Amino acid sequence: MAAGEGRAVLVTGASRGIGRAIARAFAGRGDRVAVHWGSSRERAEQVLAELPGEGHVLVQADMADAGAVGAMVDRAAEHLGRLDVLVNNAGVFTAHPPLSTSYEEWQSAWSRTLATNLVGAANATFRAVPHLIAAGGGAVVNVSSRGAFRGEPDNPAYGASKAGLNAFAQSMALALAPHGISVTCVAPGFVQTEMAREVLDGPGGDAVRAQSPFGRVARPEEVASAVLWLASPEARFSSGTVVDVNGASYLRS
């Protein structure tokens, strides 16, 4: 990478919320970003239009489709000319309380959640590794969740998928360190996104905010800042780390 040249970064699930903030954060420091989208091209185009700098690109794939994910990663690297950073942010969150969900709904929730949140991230990482090695090393940052540690009683597949993502990241941290690639996770709690607006603006919003001694939930930009640091060369020796961004709403030993 030439002096002054920005990195090439692929952010999955970048069409809204945390992913959008992450894409903006990288672009803001001069990096070129591949904005991945799954189902809303219109939102992704809006994100692309608001990114500062040049050289950004849209890439699409259903994260539950292994073939599509592999092609999407290769396409991002081709358009950007290389790949220095992969951010596995894309995910789904489907309520399926065990005592009030049919067996068919239960199976569907588990299948879709694990295929997207865990296997999709694993496939994207696998496909990104040759590009990262070719670039001389880099970083993979996974967006996990505090739900991996505290449990998700109404969304057990989500909690399990994020716990699996943490374990996957640590395994890959060991495997890829000899190639100069760090693999880490950031684990947010509740975040002020479009998806969370119904809960935060509803009757239970105050209770959610009260979970943190700060009396609020995280801003997407705060999660993006953690991702930006974990992806930096200065954080390379923190490979295998899971960084909590939950406002002390859940503390783990």
**Closest C-alpha among 16, 18, 30, 159 to residue 87:** 18
**Which helix H or strand E contains 150, and what residues bound it?**
helix 147-150
Active-site annotation, residues:
158
pTM of the predicted protein model: 0.95
- Residue spans per domain, the chain: 8-245
Residue 78: CB partners within 8 Å, gap ≥ 6?
none
**Which helix H or strand E contains 142, and what residues bound it?**
strand 138-143
CATH 3.40.50.720, applies to 8-245: yes
pLDDT per position as a tens digit, 168-201: 999 999 999 999 999 999 999 999 887 778 888 8
Are 162 and 114 spatial neighbours (Cβ–Cβ below 8 Å)? no
pLDDT per position as a tens digit, 80-135: 999 999 999 999 999 999 999 999 999 999 999 999 999 999 999 999 999 999 99
pLDDT in the model for residue 193: 87
Phi, psi of 188 (to 5 degrees): -75, 160
Q: Which two tokens stand for residue 76?
A: 């991002």
